[in-house]
Structure 1
Amino acid sequence: MSVFEKAKEAALFLKSRLPVDLQNPQAAVVCGSGLSGLANTVQAEPRAEFDYASIPHFPRPTVAGHAGKLVFGLLGQKIPAVFMVGRSHYYEGSSMDLITFPIRVFKLLEVDTVVLTNAAGGLNSSFKVGDIMMLNDHIFLAGLAGNHPLRGQNEEEFGVRFPPLSDAYDLILRRHVHHAWKEVLPPQSTRRLHEGVYAFVGGPTYETRAESRMLRMMGADVVGMSTVPEIVVARHCGLRVLAFSLVTNNAVLDPVPRGDEQELQEKAAGELNAMLEEGKAGHEEVLEAGRTAALDMEKLVTHVLVNVFG
């Protein structure tokens, strides 16, 4: 069975069980780590939820903070939307085809725009934990090396063999975001909105110091383990793309201390270990930063979609 046939089966399954008002969502929102609250922005009625396990061929996430359900509802009283609460990642053992499969289903549900969110490590020294970066470009080293979601026979029903990506990040949508940011952010907030470049890495390990420095020298502002394969497939399908990274930790770029440095010779083992652990990322840290920034992200995404489709 082709990817198109599988996606068609999944889309028909959903449409047959959705209220009429929700059968053709205009926007799809992918909720990243710690950002599942985005799905709570829809109206209470009409509303429908589907566990991924119930949907034919749909990938099932295994990572904490990724619930694994689709939530359909109305934004701003009249805009049908679908929220993907949790995603499957390449590092979980899934293929590129599988982790991007939901985007194909959204296309067949007649979605116009996909909004992707993620938690990412900050490489740019001007980015602070809790800041939001809107993607305007990306670096996809895995894809350049051939591990690409469009590798293999082209799915002609979705798009052309050689889709361009120089226009991947919709400029009109990004302009809407900058206008919305000024309206939704509380005056006392120190959170900042940036635009920049996202670097995709396979994971599940966080990056070494040398890898972080390399990515920063290449022009990346944040680094993470998702989103880019989905964006590639979304653009192959002709969907408009808007994407955000929540900066949940600052990557460590300083070179690792050398074992022969003179000033380290008299330090105790505990002090040496503390030096190495300074700035070390952890998944709980990612989830906590997501919780504290979730409300601003919810207001921003909702405001933009209501103004675009309202």
Structure 2
Amino acid sequence: MLQKIDEAVKWIQNRVPVAPKIGLVLGSGLGVLAEEAEQAHRVPYGKIPHFPVSTVEGHAGQFVFGTFAGKPVAMMQGRFHYYEGYSLEQVTFPIRVMKRLGIDTVLVTNAAGGINPEWEAGDLMLIKDHINFTFQNPLIGHNETELGPRFPDMSEAYNRELRDLAKRMAERLGICLREGVYVGLTGPSYETPAEIRMLRQLGGDAVGMSTVPEVIVAKHMGMRVLGISCISNLAAGILDQPLSHEEVMETAERVKSKFSDLVREIVREL
């Protein structure tokens, strides 16, 4: 693992002059934010040693290094998912590379189904906590103490100071920012109405197929994490209609302006 990380880091550093301090993981339909990076260096994942390749529509599949809101950043324009057939080690590998590049703060975003019946498609949700319903953990196996402790603390997976900052920026911009618990499942099938009723009873507000493994690894490596979900649709059973990835993409397109404004102001203040 250490050798793979070091080889990927050296490959990037030999080709990209930017020394990023902030990392952004941009989920389904939200990668448009990377187009705002200045002095951008775009690196397809497939060229980086040991990186998998993103296969999902709405994920461009590249790193974008540059300056955003005045800060040196590394943006993941698309991510990897367990349901694509990758191991969780592969899914979270970019987070480990980010840390070794010098990044200590990471902002993870995703498109999620709304479980809270009071919310609407197009809402933004600040993630205050998560429930790992994948029944998997990227830290299973040999632990490299150079990367992090055997038993990392997850009592504050999403940094409280960063959450407070996000709330202030949302208020400044006049953006309604929900706050809730994200439930991570493996996918790729959407949940049944019965599963959604169960997840709501367990305290979930939104559900998705990403983010949780990345956050666990980020915390393992001592990074500060902020998470924002775009509520792209209401989950199964809340409305009497079928679910589709096309709806996810359409909603992300509709809210991209307020999403971009919020993330830009957060990064500017970091």
Taking structure 1 as the reference length, the TM-score comes to: 0.85
Q: C-alpha displacement at 1:102, in angstroms?
A: 0.2
Q: C-alpha displacement at 1:293, in angstroms?
A: 0.7
For 1:94, the equivalent position in structure 2 comes to: 86
Partner SS state of residue 100, structure 1: helix
Cα distance in 2 for residues equivalent to 1:110 and 1:279 = 45
Cα distance in 1 for residues equivalent to 2:44 and 2:69 = 24
Choose the corresponding residue for 1:83, options 63, 75, 83. Answer: 75
Count of paired positions: 270
Choose the corresponding residue for 1:176, options 146, 152, 165. Answer: 165
1:136 aligns with 2:120: no
Partner SS state of residue 180, structure 1: helix
Q: Which amino acid aligns with 2:64?
A: V
Cα distance in 1 for residues equivalent to 2:246 and 2:210 = 17
Q: Which amino acid aligns with 2:8?
A: A
For 1:274, the equivalent position in structure 2 comes to: none
For 1:266, the equivalent position in structure 2 comes to: none
For 1:305, the equivalent position in structure 2 comes to: 267
Q: C-alpha displacement at 1:18, in angstroms?
A: 1.2
Q: C-alpha displacement at 1:42, in angstroms?
A: 1.8
Q: Deviations over 1:25-82 (max 9, x none)?
A: 1101001000011112322x2x2110001000112111111110000111233x1001
Q: C-alpha displacement at 1:10, in angstroms?
A: 0.4
1:39 aligns with 2:34: yes
1:219 aligns with 2:199: no
Q: C-alpha displacement at 1:160, in angstroms?
A: 0.2
Q: C-alpha displacement at 1:126, in angstroms?
A: 1.2
Q: Deviations over 1:164-217 (max 9, x none)?
A: 1011111111111111012224xxxxx631111000111000000100000000
Q: Which amino acid aligns with 1:63?
A: V
Q: C-alpha displacement at 1:252, in angstroms?
A: 2.8
For 1:239, the equivalent position in structure 2 comes to: 223
Cα distance in 2 for residues equivalent to 1:305 and 1:63 = 26
Cα distance in 1 for residues equivalent to 2:33 and 2:5 = 24
Alignment of 1:1-310 (within 5 A): 3-19=1-17, 22=18, 24-43=19-38, 45=39, 47-77=40-70, 79-142=71-134, 145=135, 147-185=136-174, 192-253=176-237, 278-308=240-270
Cα distance in 2 for residues equivalent to 1:179 and 1:140 = 28
Q: C-alpha displacement at 1:232, in angstroms?
A: 0.2
> Does the 8 A contact of 2:25 with 2:79 survive in 1?
yes
Structure 2, gaps ≥5 residues long: none
Cα distance in 2 for residues equivalent to 1:64 and 1:87 = 11
Q: C-alpha displacement at 1:279, in angstroms?
A: 2.5
Cα distance in 1 for residues equivalent to 2:260 and 2:3 = 34
Q: Which amino acid aligns with 1:61?
A: S
Partner SS state of residue 50, structure 1: strand
> Does the 8 A contact of 1:41 with 1:298 survive in 2?
no
Partner SS state of residue 278, structure 1: coil
**Structure index of larger Rg:** 1
Taking structure 2 as the reference length, the TM-score comes to: 0.97
Q: Which amino acid aligns with 2:11?
A: F
Partner SS state of residue 129, structure 2: strand
Cα distance in 2 for residues equivalent to 1:76 and 1:202 = 33
> Does the 8 A contact of 1:132 with 1:244 survive in 2?
yes
Q: C-alpha displacement at 1:299, in angstroms?
A: 1.2
For 1:258, the equivalent position in structure 2 comes to: none
> Does the 8 A contact of 1:250 with 1:279 survive in 2?
no
Q: In angstroms, what is the RMSD of aligned CA positions? A: 1.2
For 1:257, the equivalent position in structure 2 comes to: none
**Structure 1 moving runs of 4+ over 3 Å:** none
Partner SS state of residue 230, structure 1: helix
Q: Deviations over 1:211-247 (max 9, x none)?
A: 0000000000000000000000000000000011100
Cα distance in 2 for residues equivalent to 1:155 and 1:110 = 18
